[in-house]
Structure 1
Amino acid sequence: MHARHLRARLKGWGGVGAMAAACALAVVFALAVTCTGSVASQAADPHRAGDRTTQAHTADAPRAADDCEAPEKQTLSPSRADGPTITAIKNRPGEKRKLIVGVDQNSYRWGYRDPNSGESGRLEGFDIDLVHRIAEDILGDPDAVQFKAIPTDQRIPAIQDGRVDLVVRTMTINCSRLKDVAFSAPYFKTGQQVLAPKSSPITGYDETLANRKVCTAKGSTAYAKLEEDRGSGDLPASTDISTTVPNQLDCLVRLQLGEVDAVVNDGALAASQAAQDPTVELKGEAFTTEYYGVAMKKDADDLVRRVNQILVDFRQDTATGWQASYTKWLSATMDDDPSASRPPAAPEYLRRS
């Protein structure tokens, strides 16, 4: 995530001006939209693991829900079996027989609308690839998806209210969220980082943030971390963290307008924002370790297990799976070596029910 990773990043995005157009599109498409883009079906994976093997992996493991020392492990073992949640999705009539998924539409390379793609309104990115994979496995059609664009702080309410079946939106698995929703096993590893202008004296998540305004997204783990650290003295008390916005990209706009001095965000997203604007850069190293997961209703056990099985296949599929998606979308903005971002090769499933 150094300057060399910013080479020609604006090609295909159209620079900051086009980014403003993308923001305008975000307003137009803020309501539910149906995906019509064509995505090639992924090749069948010859290494699909059997249900008995994966379910036996941690069959008698205790559930650490109260202390939640490892939130990324608090999920159910994989299975391909249909249950009530999946059956209800499959039984939707006619054109409604689709997976309803909450996503972002302005996170560059993750879930976004490229105004230069030639296909108006088509969502693409790493998270979008995963959504199509899930839809193909459950409904037999990668395009059987209804996308709903939701802001950061609406991810959990959208699940609880039944507006979506899943949220695939760079959503960090943590103990607080596990009280409200269920998560899959991790599909991406990241950590919080500081984004600031290249000319800024800010050097990272340190004392150089004193007397500086920092922007975060509402309901994000970044804001929670800043609030906790400022209270404990690990962040200067004079750091102003009052600026919060509905979506991460809004922080980049605030930074460009000079309304804030820095942005704190997941490093994976911050790297994509740096690719959109060559005048900013990541400052310092990641200061947390976090994992993205697919979020679902707490009682949707069969869907959690099915998604976990899909993630097993996604990781193992070297042709059209995790590695291929990383190479296509993220290697240009992050690093050609994905090792730091890979989810656990052998995830643990400590939740029993």
Structure 2
Amino acid sequence: MRAQRFRTGLKGWGGVGAMAFACALAMLFALLLPVVRSHGEGGGAGGGADSGGRGAARGSQARAAQECTAPEQQTLSPDDADGPTIEKIRSREGEKRKLIVGVDQNSYRWGYRDPNKGGDAELEGFDIDLVHRIAEDILGDRDAVQFKAIPTNQREPAVQEERVDMVVRTMTISCDRLDKVAFSAPYFKTGQQLLAPKSSSITGYDSTLAGKRICTAAGSTALSTLQRDQKDGRLAADADLRTTVPNQLDCLVRLQLGEVDAVVTDGALAASQAAQDPTVELKGDAFTTEYYGVAMKKDADDLVRRVNQILVEWRADEAEGWQRSYEDWLAETMGDDWAKSEPPRKPKYLRKS
């Protein structure tokens, strides 16, 4: 439509010079279009140079996301060598000589405090086992950890702002996130799945979601997937996605209160939530394939390589490794077939620097 109006406006100009000028304008328009669009889509109040810069950054991220494939392979090869990031962690003195890790404290069987163990209950779960393994390798003490409870929507900022050394919190490796943080190789395979009351008419990720209120965590891959699918017509246009919460567990509370009709989250987390409430259940199969990874600062190459080496050893350890942690924490909620959740046996390390 813009091109048609533009050509109409050229009719009275005539001549080769006018056409050359038009071509120059068209080229300028094409160069500026990504910036204009990114500024208009989601730009904050205030405008000006700052919001324009943020818009340009978002446009760049969008283009990078379109070019990104197999995000779980965009990591560095394993190496057990020390480097500046690891030395900085080790140089902390006294009580501060700990690995600082962002985790969840409300995800049953992943990172939580068992209420049956009283007020002094320590964090435990599948993710917590991995954190202890990393601390033992880097600092020689599996308990040399300072846990920081991080909401779902604060995982990336916590790493970027160096509030933590890493985040181990059921965090899906995605193209969008690779623009903000570095990831380890995958340590768990999962996919987006629906959670709804057993009595619900919802049968899965299908037409039964029409007109339904769906809860997701802000900043989650669940939310971005639903928004994209609704835009592309794979999700009913009248499905209500307005309910977002800081922490995923808050969605279960909203579901219990009847404020929403369904929850979309990783199947691994959904299974744990279903285990906490016998009135809800998983509806249908997972409709995506995703992988959890350890998130670290983008320039912490030595730490990324070291964590990848630790993951290789954790997977190979049949006595106290990945499979043992699955059996201890997840078999009860996800079933004994751990192979369906196992990450690639031979991960690819495609990132070079």
Band the TM-score falls in, shorter-chain normalisation:
0.7 to 0.9
Matches within 5 A, 1:184-223: 184-223=184-223
Matches within 5 A, 1:169-180: 169-180=169-180
The letter for the 1-side match of 2:173 is I
Q: Does 1:141 align with 2:141?
A: yes
Q: Shift in Å at residue 345 of structure 1? A: 0.3
The letter for the 2-side match of 1:184 is S
Task: Answer with 110-119 or 309-318: which moved more.
Answer: 110-119
Distance 2:321 2:121 in 1: 24
Q: Percent identity, aligned pairs only?
A: 76
Report SS of the residue matched to 2:204. coil
Q: Shift in Å at residue 66 of structure 1? A: 7.4
Higher helix content, 1 or 2: 2
Q: Deviations over 1:63-92 (max 9, x none)?
A: x99722110000000000000000000000
The letter for the 1-side match of 2:182 is A
Q: Deviations over 1:109-156 (max 9, x none)?
A: 000111102462410000000000000000000000000001001000
CA contact under 8 A between 1:103 and 1:167: conserved in structure 2? yes
Q: Which runs of 5+ in 1 are unaligned?
A: 1-63
Distance 2:66 2:282 in 1: 35
Report SS of the residue matched to 2:302. helix
How many positions carry a matched residue from both structures? 290
CA RMSD of aligned residues (A): 1.1
CA contact under 8 A between 2:65 and 2:176: conserved in structure 1? no
Distance 2:257 2:83 in 1: 50
TM-score (norm: length of structure 2) = 0.81
Matches within 5 A, 1:291-302: 291-302=291-302
Q: Shift in Å at residue 335 of structure 1? A: 1.2
Report SS of the residue matched to 2:81. coil
CA contact under 8 A between 1:65 and 1:74: conserved in structure 2? no
Match of 1:79 in 2: 79
Distance 2:65 2:267 in 1: 27
Distance 1:212 1:99 in 2: 43
The letter for the 2-side match of 1:251 is C
Match of 1:162 in 2: 162
Matches within 5 A, 1:339-350: 339-350=339-350
Match of 1:38 in 2: none
Q: Which runs of 5+ in 2 are unaligned?
A: 1-63
TM-score (norm: length of structure 1) = 0.81
Report SS of the residue matched to 2:77. coil
Distance 1:184 1:66 in 2: 21
Report SS of the residue matched to 1:201. coil
Match of 1:101 in 2: 101
The letter for the 2-side match of 1:200 is S
Distance 1:152 1:118 in 2: 25
CA contact under 8 A between 1:74 and 1:349: conserved in structure 2? yes
The letter for the 2-side match of 1:343 is P
Match of 1:279 in 2: 279
The runs of 4+ residues in structure 1 deviating greater than 6 Å are none
The letter for the 1-side match of 2:280 is V
Match of 2:320 in 1: 320
Distance 1:282 1:66 in 2: 31
Distance 1:242 1:347 in 2: 37
Q: Which has the higher contact order (CA 8 A, sep 6+)?
A: 1
Distance 1:274 1:66 in 2: 34
CA contact under 8 A between 2:168 and 2:294: conserved in structure 1? yes
Q: Does 1:289 align with 2:289?
A: yes
Distance 1:118 1:225 in 2: 38
CA contact under 8 A between 1:192 and 1:267: conserved in structure 2? yes
Q: Deviations over 1:145-190 (max 9, x none)?
A: 0000010010000001010000000000010000000000000000
The letter for the 2-side match of 1:327 is E
Distance 2:319 2:189 in 1: 21
Match of 1:42 in 2: none
Match of 1:19 in 2: none
Match of 2:267 in 1: 267
Task: Answer with 234-243 or 116-125: which moved more.
Answer: 116-125
Distance 2:145 2:119 in 1: 17
CA contact under 8 A between 2:192 and 2:286: conserved in structure 1? yes
The letter for the 2-side match of 1:308 is N
Report SS of the residue matched to 1:333. helix
Match of 2:125 in 1: 125
Distance 1:251 1:119 in 2: 25
Match of 1:308 in 2: 308
Report SS of the residue matched to 1:250. helix
Report SS of the residue matched to 1:314. helix
